[in-house]
């Protein structure tokens, strides 16, 4: 595996996605935050601080997921449709280098997006004279990046063997199920059906547990989880992402163009 080739693919992917009007989302996020800042005092007075804190974190998460899924699912299909993959793969570019490069490129875009939205979010909070727990908010945004990187791997995995539309739908389902994974165990126990309970338990172990990476509630209340929990959840995200990329590479290598 050649790091230079991976870096070349990643930088090309980064530039391509940046040019694809992705950064307009930053302006949209700023507009949403300014609108919420101006409207909330007219709607509610007692809880406007908490609502603005929640709104900013949730908006950043949603916009990041939109980019990860809608762009990620089309990265490979776009190369196939343009037939550029037929030029790259026969050369000394391996399937793994191609997949990893694409993932790193889009992850870089997501990193820029998260950093910009965080800066805007903190600026609006400061201008609003709202006290906020800086440490827990920054930690939440770091784990949002882990989540988006994982979802990018999910989108790439589905994108290598199916259409962009179906891959997008499957990725959204995985995202929603990943945030409800802990509830699946409770739902399985409520059914009182051993078969269904095993099915829900199986889904819990197979699907990514995205709730591990969701620190928005903790950020609002200034709560920082224990270090071992944070390290364990970060390792979980990295390992799961690498596993998805390995599966995507395996599927892609067996695909005929």
pLDDT at 144 exceeding the cut of 80:
yes
Quick one: pLDDT band at residue 197, thresholds 50, 70, 90?
A: low
Quote the pLDDT of residue 48.
67
Tell me what the pLDDT averaged over the chain comes to.
Answer: 85
* pTM of the complete model: 0.89
Beta-carbon contacts of residue 27 (< 8 Å; ≥ 6 apart):
none
- Longest CA–CA separation in the chain, Å: 63
Q: How far apart are CA 216 and CA 220, in angstroms?
A: 6
Q: What pLDDT digit, counting tens, does each position of 25-68 carry? A: 888 999 988 888 888 766 665 566 788 888 889 999 999 999 99
Q: What's the number of CA atoms in the CB half-sphere (13 Å) around residue 43?
A: 11
| Mean of pLDDT values over 199-204 | 66
Beta-carbon contacts of residue 232 (< 8 Å; ≥ 6 apart):
none
Cβ(13)–Cβ(102) under 8 Å?
A: yes
pLDDT at 169 exceeding the cut of 90:
yes
Structure tokens at 222: 């200034």
Q: What pLDDT digit, counting tens, does each position of 212-241 carry? A: 999 998 898 888 999 999 999 999 999 999
CA end-to-end span of the chain = 23
Quote the pLDDT of residue 196.
63
Quote the pLDDT of residue 189.
62
By mean pLDDT, which of 105-109, 121-125, 252-256 is the weakest? Answer: 252-256
Quote the pLDDT of residue 177.
86
Q: Where are the alpha helices (DSSP H) in the chain?
A: 3-17, 24-43, 48-82, 85-88, 95-127, 134-159, 164-179, 181-191, 194-206, 216-220, 227-253
Structure tokens at 179: 């945030």
| Mean of pLDDT values over 145-158 | 95
| Mean of pLDDT values over 66-75 | 90
């Amino acid at each position: 595996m050649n790091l230079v080739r991976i870096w070349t693919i990643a930088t090309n992917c980064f530039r391509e996605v940046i040019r694809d009007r992705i950064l307009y989302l930053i302006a949209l996020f700023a507009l949403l935050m300014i609108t919420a800042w101006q409207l909330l005092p007219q709607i509610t007075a007692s809880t406007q601080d908490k609502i603005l804190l929640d709104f900013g974190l949730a908006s950043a998460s949603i916009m990041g997921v939109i980019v990860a899924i809608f762009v990620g699912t089309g990265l490979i299909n776009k190369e196939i449709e343009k037939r550029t993959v037929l030029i790259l793969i026969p050369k000394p570019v391996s399937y793994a280098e191609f997949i990893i490069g694409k993932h790193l490129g889009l992850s870089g875009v997501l990193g820029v997006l998260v950093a910009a939205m965080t800066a805007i979010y903190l600026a609006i909070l400061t201008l609003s004279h709202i006290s906020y727990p800086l440490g827990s908010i920054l930690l939440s945004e770091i784990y949002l990046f882990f989540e988006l990187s994982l979802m990018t791997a999910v989108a790439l995995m589905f994108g290598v063997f199916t259409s962009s539309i179906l891959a997008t739908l499957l990725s959204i389902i995985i995202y929603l199920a990943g945030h409800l994974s802990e509830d699946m165990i409770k739902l399985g126990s409520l059914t009182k059906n051993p078969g269904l309970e095993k099915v829900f338990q199986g889904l819990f172990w197979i699907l990514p547990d995205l709730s591990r990476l969701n620190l928005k509630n903790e950020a609002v209340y200034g709560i920082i989880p224990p270090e071992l929990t944070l390290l364990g959840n970060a390792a979980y995200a990295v390992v799961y992402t690498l596993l998805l990329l390995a599966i995507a590479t395996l599927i892609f290598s067996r695909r005929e163009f």
